[in-house]
Chains A and B, each alone.
Chain A
């Protein structure tokens, strides 16, 4: 017996050190690595329509996908040089920390413990969201306050799981969580009748309702029970990389504010407006400050488009997801999208 235990300990120690070793990735040179590799590694969801979803031919679309393409356009000058890695909510941060992806754009909520405790950097918000509930119409429920003794399907390892508990606790209602590692599994379980309620961010509810057998049978309850600012994440040890990704998002928002679109970006090159000239890299040294070429912002707008274009094409009212701009409107138009000055 003694011999077996010592052997097992040795093997265990060896395996444990192997896990330690997966954390080794070079700090402070994500940009160089991407350029050397010739492509950007981007972590996305396993399929949330409107955010990151692959079609039958394997082509990825969504606002998170557009963000990844914009980063590739900024660094490599080609929005198509992106390798997408679908990740579960549970695995996403470990994969990012291990260095297997350069940026995580996976409808991820920005929280203090993730930003600080996980040694990661959230570089901004590309979708302001909030958690809601979806129930069957037949349940005859029109308010989240009426949910009691219900089974709730939820994705594990998410802020959703934590808010869910807070909500039911605060309202003194009873529930049972049924937690799954993939959002697809949680939706399928809800659709089959395993749960009475499905919960996630409201954008996710709208997107996942399209995946149920009969979307018309389900309603989204009016209450929003949390703040969910969703944004891209990078490792916390590379300031240059955090700046590149942060300002890629800001350029997309600023471009919408200045009225620059994919279609008119070439004609606007001859404009006299200094703000537009600066944004397109015709004046100033915006690229140099980020160790990029001055074409970087032009490439983003030309190849991917501004924030509004990306929004309408992926989650807007004319898409199956069908979400109005709401909070995700420019600050000048009643929303809270606000880019610091690009200068």
Chain B
């Protein structure tokens, strides 16, 4: 509200005639610059007989991509290649954000630990990972760590579950039959939790009784889907990766394969970003007045109640805005994928597709718009969340 009223007054002041002329000139100049460059580009492209347009998106690409979440091969269109790149970008961003957040919170809390070793180790972690350039960290993981793994025929096999070699990590694939019953189970659980929460709130305000909602929910989210699976006859087939030999070449087929390029990116992006998030978390917790904790104690809150009900909600207000920036950074930094050959939006579309079609302007424009949209969506979601937890002034 405050910002809004300030904006209105400044607009009113700006609309006075004496101020109007320079502003109009500025607008005119701005559009002139845009017109100049656009016109220049158009004339030059015409002079070079360069055809432009987005028709190429419908024609078939002719190249394969090594890692794709959707069906794709060389007979698919450039439009689909774009989709493959976009999904690969989102996949890296999702896992990067997920791990960066978890590691960041753990390290951030550890930074405040009274245990000297934990405290100093997390300090070393933060200073190490946030002070080395990201591209170097990506190269470190990709060229140094993942390239020194054993070859396929000499793979490390951990508990018959994880297979590690130079060409990637392999895990078994779980294939569910009648999997829709699990979804029913989850839906039913969520509904129940919602009702319990409502009931708990009522009990708390009317009868001052505390119901351990979290513990009950945890139990239900395991129990209900299990019961539903039994009723629906859900069975799990496990597809293990199998070692196949073709002359002297070994290969694991089947299962879920994680390529080294993906792993290197997720490792480096989450470690790098988690160092920044850790500092945000530390700052957020330190920002909560000591008196708040003492007040909670004197009201008879136990340690976890004071942390969950008093400290964390207040700390989050400080943590969320800078962490939004880190999420945006991580997403944009994922475009460094091109440096190690992970087929993301930048590598597969702004790289391969661009050089195969020569449509530089169109493709760069599409890719810029896409990153802009992803970034704006992330900040939209986090702004909404931030508003939800913000201090309500009365």
Contacts and interface: CB of A to CB of B under 8 A. Distances in A.
Interface of A: 1, 4-5, 8, 10, 12-21, 23-25, 27, 89-91, 93-94, 97, 114, 117-119, 135-136, 138-141, 146, 148-151, 156-157, 161-162, 164-166, 169, 175-181, 185, 189, 192-194, 196, 235-237
B355 A162 contact: no
Interface in B331-379: 338-339, 341, 343, 347, 351-352, 354-358, 360-361, 364-365, 368-369, 372, 376
Contact of A179 (B42, B341, B365): B341
14 contacts: A5-B376, A8-B376, A20-B45, A23-B41, A23-B50, A136-B248, A139-B248, A151-B251, A157-B351, A157-B352, A178-B261, A179-B66, A179-B341, A194-B147
B114 interface: no
A140 B247 contact: yes
B47 interface: yes
Interface of B: 30, 33-34, 36-38, 40-42, 44-45, 47-51, 62-66, 73-74, 147, 151, 166-167, 244, 246-249, 251, 253, 260-261, 338-339, 341, 343, 347, 351-352, 354-358, 360-361, 364-365, 368-369, 372, 376, 380, 383
Nearest to A136: B248
Given A1-B383, A24-B44, 10 more contacts: A23-B48, A94-B358, A97-B48, A119-B48, A136-B248, A140-B247, A179-B343, A192-B147, A194-B167, A196-B251
Contacts of A90: 351-352, 354-355
A16 to B, nearest CB: 6
Contacts of A18: 37
B44 A23 contact: yes
Contacts of A175: 64
Contacts of A13: 34
B64 A165 contact: yes
A177 B248 contact: no
B258 to A, nearest CB: 13
Majority-rule SS of B interface residues: helix
B148 to A, nearest CB: 9
Contacts of B246: 146, 148-150
A176 B65 CA distance: 8
A237 B48 contact: yes
Most A-side CB within 10 Å, residue of B41, B44, B249, B358: B249
**Nearest 8 CB-CB pairs, A to B?**
A20-B41, A157-B355, A17-B37, A140-B248, A139-B248, A165-B74, A118-B358, A90-B355
A149 B244 contact: yes
Contacts of A151: 66, 167, 251
A93 B63 contact: no
Contacts of B248: 136, 138-141
Contacts of B63: 161-162, 165, 177
A139 B152 CA distance: 12
